């Protein structure tokens, strides 16, 4: 077995518990892993602002680490603040994304100037996203026009809805736009829409190449279908007990749940006992 040198962690449903907190025990085990030379990588669908508090808690600026925001659409060196990679949605496709969301009848949101922008500012799932990421919600009369007015296209759009409705919407969006962009769910009620070729494995590949490292030196922990790519590429792919059935089926190891220090348990098994 190769020694693990990089640990990629999804946030919601993985590193954080149901209250969006990281337990002191898990923080302690991650600190111990860092002291043994393991580089931490936060790999999340969240925007950078929603990840910054975690960067501070894990001391990634002082100790070195990386952030994959927007499911890998943006890769940042936490120590220097340098953006290593960023790929936006193609501008010509933005009106069609909005049109398809309207046809499906589910809320769609994106980002502008540190705000969430949407035609549905009171949608409970959009408000939940706002709370998770500490971003205010700004209602706009026409999301397509708002996106067209941005100096640069957004990296991501997000569709929300009840899990069953969003499952059907995911199929429809894949049929309509799956050949031109990546579409997957990060949580049962959040569906991520990013540029073609963007996923967590692609973002992790940028970091590994920078360090001349191999995927076998990477452990990745996740719970959602948007974590499938990094679970597949990692030398050790870990699914949380609360993960989707698809992720569990492809993981090499299923750890405890996010409410039972599952990340810490995996760190003990594969890093602390094998360094």
Domain 6-86+198-272 has what CATH class? Answer: alpha beta
Domain 91-195 has what CATH class? Answer: alpha beta
**pLDDT tens-place values along the chain, 275 residues long:** 579 999 999 999 999 999 999 999 999 999 999 999 999 999 999 999 999 999 999 999 999 999 999 999 999 999 999 999 999 999 999 999 999 999 999 999 999 999 999 999 999 999 999 999 999 999 999 999 999 999 999 999 999 999 999 999 999 999 999 999 999 988 899 999 999 999 999 999 999 999 999 999 999 999 999 999 999 999 999 999 999 999 999 999 999 999 999 999 999 999 998 74
Cα angle 202, 48, 60; round to 5:
85
- The pTM assigned to this predicted structure is 0.94
Nearest residue to 97 (alpha-carbon basis) of 195, 207, 168: 195
Delimit the CATH 3.30.1240.10 region(s) of the chain.
91-195
Delimit the CATH 3.40.50.1000 region(s) of the chain.
6-86+198-272
Largest Cα–Cα distance in the chain?
Answer: 55
């Amino acid at each position: 077995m190769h020694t693990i040198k990089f640990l990629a962690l999804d946030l919601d449903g993985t590193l954080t518990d149901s209250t969006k907190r990281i337990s002191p025990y898990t923080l302690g085990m991650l600190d111990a892993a860092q002291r043994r030379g393991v580089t931490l990588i936060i790999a999340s669908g969240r925007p950078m602002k929603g990840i910054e508090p975690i960067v501070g808690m894990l001391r990634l600026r002082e100790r070195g680490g990386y952030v994959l925001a927007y499911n890998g659409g943006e890769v940042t060196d936490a120590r220097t603040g340098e953006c290593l990679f960023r790929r936006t949605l193609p501008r010509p496709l933005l009106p069609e994304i909005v049109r398809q969301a309207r046809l499906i009848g589910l809320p769609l949101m994106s980002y502008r100037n540190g705000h969430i922008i949407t035609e549905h500012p009171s949608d409970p799932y959009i408000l939940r996203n706002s709370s998770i990421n500490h971003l205010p919600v700004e209602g706009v009369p026409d999301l397509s026009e708002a996106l067209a007015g941005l100096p640069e296209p957004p990296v991501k759009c997000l569709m929300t809805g009840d899990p069953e409705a969003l499952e059907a919407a995911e199929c429809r969006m894949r049929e309509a736009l799956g050949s031109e962009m990546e579409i997957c769910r990060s949580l049962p009620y959040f569906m991520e829409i990013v540029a073609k070729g963007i996923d967590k494995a692609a973002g992790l590949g940028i970091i590994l190449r920078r360090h001349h490292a191999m995927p076998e030196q990477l452990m990745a922990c996740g719970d959602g279908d948007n974590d499938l790519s990094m679970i597949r590429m990692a030398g050790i792919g870990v699914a949380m007990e609360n993960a989707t059935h698809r992720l569990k089926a492809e993981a090499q190891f299923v750890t405890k749940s996010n409410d039972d220090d599952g990340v810490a348990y995996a760190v003990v098994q594969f890093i602390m006992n094998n360094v």
